[in-house]
């Protein structure tokens, strides 16, 4: 295929271990399941069949993102493509909800408030205490960062504001230079980027779903205006039921 001069492929990682128990993951470093690895490999094969190639891959520091990126590149036959990771591409931090399932969250805070936290744009969930062992300041992944920069909870807006500097300062210059990039990240991180790229309102953003395991291709003009986007269909490999 003849690729547009400027484009980028986004990919949300697949099925992880905590999907099995319907627990909120956020920044908790949970690995993919066999299904998640198979989803990534299937997407890699489809990208290769469609003629895509990448100069670089960018992802979060969380292992489910790294595992996904590696599985895609291996399936494409290009494992040598460099992978760059940043905490700015991490999933939204769910605060005190992390590690709990929906039933536990509803029983503690009520269904109305809970749904407002995880679907809404403005309101973050209850934060972790600074001394909570789940706080990211205790995680070696973030040892080089100022603890004041690490979130104890995030709304979708907070997550977006944390991610956009990476978009503007790292990814945009590479797209302008003609690099073909794959960004492997998380549902809410991608929702924030889609909201920015498509100029969506907060109300519209609450209705946007980002499916896992399906490449999302954005095409850009020379001024980085969005010319369009499309989902690259991947054959279904398994049921989550």
> Would you kindly state where each structural domain of the chain is located, as residue ranges?
7-93+154-231
Residue 1 has pLDDT above 90, yes or no: no
**β-bridge mates for residue 217, sequence order:** 9, 230
Q: Phi/psi of residue 230, each to 5°?
A: -155, 150
Q: Residue 237 — pLDDT band, cuts 50, 70, 90? A: low
**pLDDT tens-digit series, residues 119-172:** 889 999 999 999 999 999 999 999 999 999 999 999 999 999 999 999 999 999
Residue 238 has pLDDT above 50, yes or no: no
Active site residue 91: yes
The percentage of the chain sitting over the pLDDT mark of 70, rounded to a whole number, equals: 95
Active site residue 13: yes
Q: Is 40 within 8 Å of 72 (Cβ atoms)?
A: yes
- Mean of per-residue pLDDT scores for the chain: 92
User: Which of the residues 39, 70, 91, 154 is marked catalytic?
Assistant: 91
- For 7-93+154-231, CATH number out of 3.40.50.720, 3.20.190.10, 3.40.50.11540, 3.40.50.1240 equals 3.40.50.1240
**Entry pTM:** 0.93
């Amino acid at each position: 295929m003849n690729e547009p001069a400027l484009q980028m492929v986004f990919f949300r990682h697949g099925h992880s271990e905590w999907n099995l128990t319907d627990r909120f993951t956020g920044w908790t470093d949970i690995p993919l399941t066999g299904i998640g690895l198979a989803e990534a490999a299937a997407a890699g094969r489809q990208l290769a069949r469609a003629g895509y190639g990448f100069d670089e891959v960018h992802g979060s520091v969380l292992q489910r993102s790294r595992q996904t990126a590696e599985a895609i590149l291996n399936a494409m036959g290009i494992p040598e493509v460099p992978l760059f990771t940043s905490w700015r591409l991490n999933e939204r931090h769910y605060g005190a909800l992390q590690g709990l399932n929906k039933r536990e969250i509803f029983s503690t805070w009520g269904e109305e408030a809970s749904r407002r936290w995880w679907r809404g744009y403005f309101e973050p969930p209850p934060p972790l205490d600074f001394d909570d062992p789940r706080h990211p300041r205790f995680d070696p992944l973030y040892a080089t960062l100022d603890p004041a920069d690490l979130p104890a909870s995030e709304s979708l807006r907070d997550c977006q504001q944390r991610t956009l500097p990476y978009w503007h300062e790292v990814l945009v210059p590479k797209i302008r230079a003609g690099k073909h990039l794959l960004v492997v990240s998380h549902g809410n991180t991608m929702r924030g980027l889609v909201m920015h790229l498509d100029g969506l309102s907060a109300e519209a953003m609450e209705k946007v779903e980002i499916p896992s395991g399906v490449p999302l291709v954005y095409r850009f003009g020379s001024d980085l205006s969005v010319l369009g986007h499309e989902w690259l269909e991947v054959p279904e490999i398994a049921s989550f039921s």
